[in-house]
């Protein structure tokens, strides 16, 4: 079982190596990246530029890239699953075929409590120790020090491993799914705000009243800095809309698991998906320029529909 010093961890593994995984490794520093192994499904992509880009990510981070999950997971004491929400359960089921007995499996994905419990069952059946992990902030600029909530049956051992990695973990009472419930409920508001900003700003820009509206909101809620937030929210959706849409589908599932209709989560999913599908780069810090780029692309899509 990993302890609170580096010598106790001889191999780290990452399943998925996108923004979160790379940010963690960057924060760890070279002394830890040298024992880190990673597998990402983009390694198997049919497009050469996608495959080559992922191998470049491995080299840049100083980790050992793998062509199969088994290569990354074999003999790893600590595993971080950082895939998209819709792939989290299948990633856990795949990992269960290769996980070492007693290995800690940190499921950092934004999934419903029910999905987390199913993933936990797969890992536990294989002899691994599942840790429901909720990432409670952006990984940039926090890197490995981003706040984490953890829940499950092995939280004390999990905290020891996180401490060794200089990570910021806080235990939540309850079994697997307890940390996820907090993250998913919070996302109703956080990702919902992003979708609200998209709809409000695009409508305002189309009507030529965006500045008046945002200034009016600033009067109502002084200090919120609506124009600055508008740029930030648009950038987040443009850059991460597809990943956020996958998360919001899980949020809607979470709400429905509680016996309530996930109406707001569902509507947020649609905006996140639609903007993410456009694949536009968010350039600069001016919400007006981003909104105009989105409107131009949305208009072209409607013209060809």
- Could you tell me which residues come within 8 angstroms of residue 261 by beta carbon, excluding any fewer than 6 positions away? 255
| Inter-residue contact 236 to 197 (CB < 8 Å) | no
Helix (H, G, I), strand (E, B) or coil at 180: helix
| Inter-residue contact 124 to 130 (CB < 8 Å) | yes
Among residues 208, 280, 204, which one has the least CA distance to residue 237? 280
Burial of residue 150 (number of CB atoms within 10 Å: 0-12, 13-18, 19+): buried
What is the pLDDT, as a whole number, of residue 30?
A: 85
What is the pLDDT, as a whole number, of residue 3?
A: 42
| Domains along the sequence of the chain with CATH | 6-176 (3.40.50.720), 186-300 (1.10.1040.10)
What is the pLDDT, as a whole number, of residue 2?
A: 43
For residues 227 and 202, what is the distance between their CA atoms, to the nearest angstrom?
13
What is the pLDDT, as a whole number, of residue 31?
A: 84
What is the pLDDT, as a whole number, of residue 272?
A: 98
Encoded tokens for 58:
């491995």
For residue 67, whether the previous peptide bond is cis, meaning omega lies within 30 degrees of 0, is no
Burial of residue 20 (number of CB atoms within 10 Å: 0-12, 13-18, 19+): buried
Helix axes 287-304, 210-220, angle to 10 degrees: 130
Segment-wise mean pLDDT, segments of 10 residues, the chain, 305 residues: 60 96 95 93 94 96 96 97 94 97 97 96 97 95 97 94 96 96 97 98 98 98 98 96 95 96 97 97 95 92 56
φ, ψ at 251 (rounded to 5°): -65, -45
For residues 167 and 147, what is the distance between their CA atoms, to the nearest angstrom?
8
For residues 79 and 97, what is the distance between their CA atoms, to the nearest angstrom?
14
Q: Are strands 104-107 and 64-65 parallel, antiparallel or unpaired?
A: unpaired
Encoded tokens for 190:
């956080």
Helix (H, G, I), strand (E, B) or coil at 161: helix
Q: Does the CA dihedral 15-17-19-25 come out positive or negative?
A: positive
């Amino acid at each position: 079982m990993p302890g609170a010093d580096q010598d106790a961890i001889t191999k780290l593994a990452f399943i998925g190596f996108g923004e979160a995984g790379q940010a963690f490794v960057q924060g760890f520093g070279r002394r830890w990246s040298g024992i880190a192994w990673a597998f990402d499904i983009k390694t198997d992509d049919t497009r050469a530029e996608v495959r080559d880009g992922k191998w470049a990510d491995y080299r840049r981070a100083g980790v050992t890239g793998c062509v199969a999950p088994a290569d990354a997971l074999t003999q790893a004491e600590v595993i971080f699953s950082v895939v998209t929400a819709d792939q989290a359960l299948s990633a856990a089921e795949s990992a269960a075929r290769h996980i070492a007995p007693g290995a800690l499996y940190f499921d950092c994905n934004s999934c419903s409590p029910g999905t987390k419990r199913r993933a936990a069952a797969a890992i536990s059946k294989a002899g691994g120790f599942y840790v429901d992990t909720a990432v409670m902030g952006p990984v940039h600029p926090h890197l490995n020090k981003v706040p984490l909530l953890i829940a499950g049956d092995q939280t004390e051992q999990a905290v020891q491993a996180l401490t060794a990695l200089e990570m910021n973990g806080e235990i939540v009472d309850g079994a697997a799914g307890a940390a996820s419930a907090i993250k998913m409920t919070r996302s109703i508001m956080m990702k919902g705000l992003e979708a609200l900003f998209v709809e409000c700003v695009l409508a305002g820009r189309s009507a030529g009243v965006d500045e008046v509206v945002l200034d009016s909101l600033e009067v109502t809620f002084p200090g919120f800095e609506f124009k600055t937030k508008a740029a930030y929210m648009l950038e987040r959706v443009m850059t991460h809309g597809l990943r956020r849409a996958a998360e919001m589908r899980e949020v809607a599932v979470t709400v429905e698991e509680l016996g309530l209709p996930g109406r707001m989560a569902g509507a947020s999913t649609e905006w996140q998906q639609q903007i993410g599908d456009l694949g536009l780069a968010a350039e600069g810090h001016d919400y007006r320029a981003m909104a105009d780029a989105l409107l131009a692309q949305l208009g072209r899509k409607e013209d060809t529909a």
